[in-house]
Structure 1
Amino acid sequence: MINDETKKKLDMMGMHALVEALEVQEKESLYKSMTFDERLNASVDHAYQIKYNEKVKGLIRRAHFRYPQASVEDIYYSKRELDKDQIMTLITNSYIDSYKNVLIVGFTGSGKTFLSNCLGKAACRDGISTRYIRIPDLFVQLEEAELKRGRNKLINKFANCPLLILDEWLINSMSEQEIEFIFELIERRYQNKSTIFCTQFKIESWHNRLGGGVHADAIMDRIIHNSVTINAGDVNMREVTSNMNKE
């Protein structure tokens, strides 16, 4: 049994998780028959799990997900066009390692945001910093940043996270200023970060919705050619979920 002074020293070294692990061992009789090495290994495993859980919780909190409780296990596949094998591959986060984008396309209510949050949480569980934001909210921040001459700071904020989820992509027409901002953001992330785009608009319509000019060309070129597309289909998941809750 370790004394209070030793526990205090461990706490001062930032090893509270190890203290907690040792305290668990003191209370559980099954550890008494273990060798020193076995108890040490068990303590380290316990402490590691505590630190890991704390890190993941922090990443999820800072991601600002729309659905922080979203889970891959809860994805509904029945009667949908979702490719389960594709989803299972994506949650390994290999697309992030290769800096690929993910384009989630589907009708209103088809569960695009939920899917994106599931992928985002899978990234968080791998220790990958993630950020979720709706495009309308991003442009509100842009407007505020322009007033404070903080445009570059805003770009840095969203350009540097390994996984960025842009929801409601192209939901509204963009001003020239907004299109230029999106170009700068996508350019900064090109070939070194991954971005998930959630949209109800088919990819072939994106160019026109981005203004149809040279910025549209450049944005499309950087998004499309290294991407994976998820067809979320046309099943209204809000209606499905509502009916399931009534049963």
Structure 2
Amino acid sequence: MINSETIRKLRQLDLGELVAALELQEADMETRHLTFDDRFQIATDYLYQEKYNHRIKGIIHRAKLRIKEADLRSIQYEHRDINREMLQELGTCNFVKHHMNVIFQGFTGSGKTYLSCALAKEACKLEIRTRYIRLPDLLIERDEASFKEQGVAKLLNKYSNYGLLVLDEWLLDDLLDEDLKFIFELIERRHDTHSTIYCTQFRKADWHQRLGGGIHADAIMDRIVHKAFWYDTGKMNMREFNAQTE
């Protein structure tokens, strides 16, 4: 049994998980008879897993996911015309490694936000810095930042550096010229270096007009659509479906 002074030192070194691992071993009669090397390996594995879990919990918390319980393992496939194989492939997050984008397009309530949060959580588990935000909220942050010295530049730098950025309600509202310039600058900085998930009700054919139909529309689309996985979330309203099945 480790003495209280050793426990104190381990906790001071932020190794409380190691203390817990050793206490578990002391409580398990079978473990107590293992060799030192075996016990040390078990304790190390326990410490690593606990540290990892704590780290991932922090990454997920900072991602500010709108649907915190979203999980790929809980996706409802029955009665939905969605591509299961493609979604499972996206869940590996290889698209992030290759700086590809993902576009969830579908009707209101079809699960775009849930799917994006589920993918974002998988990225968090791989320790990829991730952030979820609605485009209207991002533009509000831009407006507030404009009153501070170098505020917009700092905001662009912040959102440019996430390994994975989820932009929900993409193109939902009409955009002003200043909005388009800001969006272009953000997308330009992320292009070919990071990945973005877009959640939208609008088909690709509608994007150009929603983006103002000018040169900014051309430039923004050019940087998004040619390196993107398009995923149709279908027409079923999942909120209505889940309400009926409860």
Residue 134 of structure 1 and its aligned partner are, at CA, apart by 0.5
- 1:220-243 Cα offsets, whole Å, 9 max, x none, are 111011110111000000111101
188-197 vs 213-222, which moves further: 213-222
Correspondence for 1:120: 120
Matched, 1:73 2:76: no
Correspondence for 2:153: 152
Q: Secondary structure at the match of 1:78?
A: coil
Residue 60 of structure 1 and its aligned partner are, at CA, apart by 1.1
Query: Matches of 2:197 and 2:184 in 1, distance apart?
Result: 15
Matched, 1:162 2:193: no
Q: Which amino acid aligns with 2:103?
A: L
Q: Secondary structure at the match of 1:147?
A: coil
Residue 100 of structure 1 and its aligned partner are, at CA, apart by 0.4
Deviating above 3 A after TM superposition, structure 1's stretches of 4 or more consecutive aligned residues are none
Percent of aligned pairs with the same amino acid? 47
Correspondence for 1:180: 181
23-32 vs 130-139, which moves further: 23-32
- 1:139-184 Cα offsets, whole Å, 9 max, x none, are 1111101122400111111110100000000000111111111011
Correspondence for 2:214: 213
Query: Matches of 1:111 and 1:21 in 2, distance apart?
Result: 41
Correspondence for 2:2: 2
Q: How does 1:18-57 map to 2 (within 5 A)?
A: 18-57=18-57
Query: Matches of 1:186 and 1:16 in 2, distance apart?
Result: 43
Residue 12 of structure 1 and its aligned partner are, at CA, apart by 2.3
Residue 244 of structure 1 and its aligned partner are, at CA, apart by 1.4
Q: Which amino acid aligns with 1:87?
A: L
Query: Matches of 2:242 and 2:155 in 1, distance apart?
Result: 36
Q: Which amino acid aligns with 1:177?
A: E
Correspondence for 2:130: 130
Q: Secondary structure at the match of 1:225?
A: helix
Residue 43 of structure 1 and its aligned partner are, at CA, apart by 0.3
Correspondence for 2:237: 236
Query: Matches of 1:46 and 1:139 in 2, distance apart?
Result: 44
TM-score by length of 2: 0.97
Q: How does 1:196-207 map to 2 (within 5 A)?
A: 196-207=197-208
Aligned residues: 245
Correspondence for 1:142: 142
Correspondence for 2:193: 192
Query: Matches of 1:215 and 1:72 in 2, distance apart?
Result: 35
- 1:84-131 Cα offsets, whole Å, 9 max, x none, are 110111111100000000000000110000000000111111111110
Residue 197 of structure 1 and its aligned partner are, at CA, apart by 0.1
202-211 vs 28-37, which moves further: 28-37
Q: Which amino acid aligns with 1:232?
A: T
Structure 2: tracts of 5 or more residues without a match: none
